[in-house]
Structure 1
């Protein structure tokens, strides 16, 4: 039996966060072997959920949280988007002349199921949607993924050796092209373009402070 596997990240409250979320999802689903049709539906759903979350009024400059979960056991892909806003979104039936308001209609039509939950231990809510993904598979040891999909706790192959990733952050690259900065367990940092393939494998579990648990 396969174990659930997930990727979590946070987005700043700006328009560019929508394509960034899609890029992370695309890289993640590619590494999981998810088919084109499911990946396309997933991108549509995540775009709508992130767009809605960015429109919500929140206290201060709170981030939007995204969680992508796959479970090969029940062949499901789950997408979650969290924000610190109040209220619960609902499906609307906008008039033909209204320019917006169809986001959750699309989510409802494309997903297997969707819903809204209160965030445990925090303010705000999580809107989630699930898709059937029968071709989803576990990540093999030493697979290649886009650099944007690397997460703390994984090992990456650097200069012929495996190093554990302690932290991941985004940086502006050449000519505005985004890069990923990986903080490694030997004290060094590795700068990689977001779409560059990186060899990864499952490593040790890393705590929130960057140290092993």
Structure 2
């Protein structure tokens, strides 16, 4: 069984987090080679789930967690949004003059299936939605993705040269706990620090070519 391709991140409870979630989803799906239909539908669903999570009352202004996963064996794109609030998400039938309350109606209409579950660790719940996305296009050379989506073994373009990513870690700002910095350990021993949402150009490493720094020469 293939491991799902996934991206996880956390969002502060502010209006700008909704477009940020869409941008990160768009970046991940671009890397995975998803079609435009899956991307557009996924962005609509994720926007509604994140918006709903932002409205939930939670203790101490807790962050909202997001997980994006491509379940390649099942041909499904799974979107999960976690919050620390109580309650059960329910589809409403708002009156015509109401301006809100239609988020889950949209999710129900667009998703293959959706639901919610209590979080195994900690308080709150996770609302999830899945949509059919069975096909992966071949990964392209030089795809631009968000730094948070980079994974070990890929090559990244740094100062007009390609370098293999040996490790991926994250750091949080002491002054802004919602700000996440991605730390990439590169093959030359240096570390590249970037905001999680900043774009990087990546490609898969060429496994057929010799490893740099490990070549032998004959005299």
**TM tier relative to shorter chain:** 0.7 to 0.9
Pick from 163, 166, 181 the counterpart of residue 164 of structure 1: 166
2:5 corresponds to 1:12: no
Deviation per residue, 1:113-165 (Å, 9 max, x gap): 0001000111000000000012235868x763413442465644344331334
Cα shift at 1:101:
0.2
Indicate the residue corresponding to 2:93 in structure 1. 93
CA contact (8 A) 2:170 2:181 kept: yes
Q: Normalising to structure 2: TM-score of the pair?
A: 0.77
In 2, Cα distance between the equivalents of 1:45 and 1:4? Answer: 20
Distance verdict in 2 for CA 1:180–1:52, change over 3 Å: closer
In 2, Cα distance between the equivalents of 1:101 and 1:27? Answer: 28
Between structure 1 and structure 2, the one with the greater Rg is 2
Deviation per residue, 1:51-101 (Å, 9 max, x gap): 000011111021100001112211111000000000111000000001100
Indicate the residue corresponding to 1:144 in structure 2. 143
Gaps of 5+ in 2: 174-178, 206-219
CA RMSD of aligned residues (A): 2.8
Cα shift at 1:181:
4.6
Q: What's the secondary structure of 1:85's corresponding residue?
A: coil
How many residues are paired up?
Answer: 194
Q: What's the secondary structure of 2:59's corresponding residue?
A: coil
Q: Normalising to structure 1: TM-score of the pair?
A: 0.79
Indicate the residue corresponding to 2:42 in structure 1. 42
In 1, Cα distance between the equivalents of 2:195 and 2:122? Answer: 33
In 1, Cα distance between the equivalents of 2:41 and 2:119? Answer: 25
In 2, Cα distance between the equivalents of 1:143 and 1:72? Answer: 23
CA contact (8 A) 1:2 1:73 kept: yes
Gaps of 5+ in 1: 172-178, 203-213
Distance verdict in 2 for CA 1:83–1:137, change over 3 Å: farther
Q: Please give the residue correspondences for 1:1-213 in structure 2 after superposition, counting only pairs within 5 Å.
A: 2-136=2-136, 144-151=143-150, 153=152, 155-157=154-156, 158=158, 159-168=161-170, 181-185=181-185, 186=189, 188-191=191-194, 194=197, 196-201=199-204
